[in-house]
Amino acid sequence: MFKINENYLKLPGSYLFSTIGKKVNAYKEANPDKEIISLGIGDVTQPLAPAIIDSLHKAVDEMAVRETFRGYAPDLGYEFLRSAIAKNDYAARGADIAVDEIFVSDGAKCDSGNIQEIFSINNKIAVCDPVYPVYVDTNAMAGRTGTYNKETELWSNVIYMPCKAENGFAPELPEETPDIIYLCFPNNPTGATIKKPQLQEWVDYANKAGAVIIYDAAYEAYISEEDVPHTIYECEGAKTCAIELKSFSKNAGFTGTRLGYAVVPKALKDSDGNSLNALWARRHGTKFNGAPYIIQRAGEAVYSEEGKKQTKEQIAYYMNNARIIKEGLKEAGFTVSGGVNAPYIWLTAPSGMTSWEFFDYLLANANVVGTPGSGFGPSGEGYFRLTAFGTYENTIEALKRIKEL
């Protein structure tokens, strides 16, 4: 009789957003007349920008003609997109990343989950706490995280780096040396960022310790402050210690169309001199058949003059929501952070409520859905995340309701 991968049995509870979905559906069923506003899941609400739509139409038409039809895409990505990325996301920021260090994918979720496969199962991971849950869960599925303690909600073989108000929601260098360090800036869920000298400290630390940093920059486009790095490769020495993950979901609304990429520099080698670039190319080529041609053309359009202008306007739209949420919450007496370099506002649940208690309270009394901070890690307990990805009208209405509580 077959057996399942027992690592899956060790996973705690269900995926955060399924639990939220179930709770919201149950509430809707019991209260069909209530109008619920979701500022919960980090999904965009603005349609794709016109320059992107034009490019999609054009690419679709090419697929209808024998001469321009495309079959399987090159599994590492089309040259036109990879060079647009190298030029706009790296060369323009003074970072020298070559086209063959860029691996186009169908999004940063898959990349952030899959990248651990190329590391030894004995490698120890360090994660910010709270953080995007995919990092720990995928390492748990691989069997790298030890045993799960239901009471502390901690895995025995993971180094947690608490990010709380006391340290400005920024991780401190861990006492125990990790092999793999996950950093996510701007951070989901706290919206926190670190400045370039702080990121340089992490790069120096990783190079010295022989650790690799997996740098998730999915929210890079939301950075508004001058001294916050847009890519880890702005730091000296990052090419020998860092992999960077990027997504087209939040900067250009590709959550449904799917596109992302990973940067794995050729200078990045393990202690035996094995190239991670070659390993990731092997893994990508074996398990991934390329992002669709039409979507890669759409991705290319994000870097056109019109595309840049239009996506910038969308980001400004969401960041205006972020400002409305942050200021509204402050007026209502909440303690808030984030929302300056990220579309996430991180607030302290009032009156000593737990994160889930506040979730229930907000759903029942304001019909507003947010995300409990504890779902992102134990140090998120007592906190709550609201997103700026709603429509302007819904954001205004949600804040009106919250202020009336």
Residues that bind ligand PLP (CB under 6 A): 42, 107-109, 112, 132, 184, 188, 216, 218, 247, 249, 255, 260
39 phi/psi in degrees, rounded to 5: -120, 40
For residue 113, the minimal CB distance to ligand PLP (Å) is 9
- Residue (291 or 398) nearer to ligand PLP, CB: 291
Q: Do 169 and 160 touch, CB atoms closer than 8 A?
A: no
Q: Count Cβ atoms below 10 Å from residue 224 Cβ, excluding itself.
A: 14
For ligand PLP, the closer CB: 42 or 375: 42
Q: How far is the CB of 109 from ligand PLP (least distance, A)?
A: 3
Provide, for the chain, the percentages of residues in helix, strand and coil under a 3-state DSSP scheme, each rounded to the nearest 5.
Answer: 45, 15, 40
Cβ 135 to ligand PLP shortest distance, Å: 9
Q: Which is nearer to ligand PLP, 90 or 261 (CB)?
A: 261
Residues 385 and 356 sit within 8 Å (Cβ to Cβ): no
Closest CA to 340 of 226, 236, 232, 233: 226
Which residues have C-beta within 8 Å of that of residue 6, sequence separation ≥ 6?
A: none
Q: Which helix (H) or strand (E) holds 28?
A: helix 16-30
- In angstroms, give the least distance from the CB of 364 to ligand PLP: 26
Q: Are strands 260-263 and 102-105 parallel, antiparallel or unpaired?
A: antiparallel
Closest CB 350 distance from ligand PLP, rounded Å: 25
Judged by beta carbon, residue 219 or residue 358, the one nearer ligand PLP is: 219
Q: Which CB, 105 or 348, lies closer to ligand PLP?
A: 105
- Tokens for 50? 């016109």
Our CB check for ligand PLP shows the closer of 295 and 366 to be 295
- Helices 392-403 and 305-331 cross at an angle (nearest 10°) of 10
Nearest distance from C-beta of residue 131 to ligand PLP, angstroms? 8
What long-range pairs does 7-12 form, CB within 8 A, spacing at least 24? 7/140, 7/141, 7/142, 7/143, 8/141, 10/140, 10/147, 10/148, 11/137, 11/140, 11/141, 11/148, 12/148, 12/150, 12/153
DSSP, collapsed to helix, strand or coil, labels residue 82 as helix
Minimum CB–partner distance for residue 134 and ligand PLP (Å): 7
Alpha carbons 138 and 117: distance in angstroms, whole number: 9
Q: How far is the CB of 220 from ligand PLP (least distance, A)?
A: 11
C-alpha 82/C-alpha 101 separation (Å) is 9
Distance CA 131, CA 184 (A): 8
Nearest-approach distance from CB 242 to ligand PLP, in angstroms: 16
Whichever of 40 and 260 has its CB closer to ligand PLP, that residue is 260
- 123 vs 255, which CB is nearer to ligand PLP? 255
Least distance in angstroms from the C-beta of 273 to ligand PLP: 30
Nearer to ligand PLP, 116 or 188 (CB): 188
Interacting residues of 235 by C-beta distance below 8 A, sequence separation 6+? 196, 199, 200, 203, 229
Is 239 within 8 Å of 106 (Cβ atoms)? no
Pick the closer one to ligand PLP by CB: 328 or 338.
338
